[in-house]
Amino acid sequence: MRFSILFFTAVTAFFAVGVQASPVDSPEVNIIARTPYFHGNAVCYYPNGNYGACGWVLQNSDFVIALSPAHWDNGVHCGQHLNVTYNGKNIDGIVGDICSACAPDQIYISSGAFEALAPLGVGVIPVVWNFT
C-alpha cells in the first residue's frame, strides 16, 4: 500500500509541474510565431478606383497591398491582413491586388497606406512585412 501512495504522489507531482510549466495558448502568439517576416521594397501605387485582382474596387486612400506572384498563390491571400513596417512605423493593410512585375518579396502599397509610412515623393521604401 505504501508503494501505491508514493507512486501516486510522484505521478501527481509530475503532472502538476508539467501543467504549470506549459505556456498559455494564445491565438495571437501562435499566429506571430508561425508567420515568417519578409524583407523587400514597398512601391507606392495608385489603384484609382479600379478593380484589383481580388475582384473589388480599390481606392487610393484604402490601405491596399498588391503581392508579387511569388506570394500571390492564386489569390489565396485576398482579404488577408499584412503588417508592414518601415522606419519604426507600422500599417495594417489588406491584400487586394497582384503586382505581376514585383520581385518575390516586393509589395505595392496604395498611396494612402504609403503616405502613412513615408512621404509619397520617396516612391520606394525598404520594408519588413508579414501576414497577420
* Residue range 79-126, pLDDT digits in tens: 999 999 999 999 999 999 999 999 999 999 999 999 999 999 999 999
pTM higher than 0.85, yes or no?
no
Q: Is residue 79 part of a domain?
A: yes
Domain span holding position 125? 37-131
Q: Is residue 52 part of a domain?
A: yes
Number of domains in the chain: 1
Q: Is residue 6 part of a domain?
A: no
Residue corresponding to grid cell 494564445? 26
Q: Is residue 7 part of a domain?
A: no
Q: Is residue 106 part of a domain?
A: yes
CATH of the domain at 99: 2.40.40.10
Q: Is residue 61 part of a domain?
A: yes
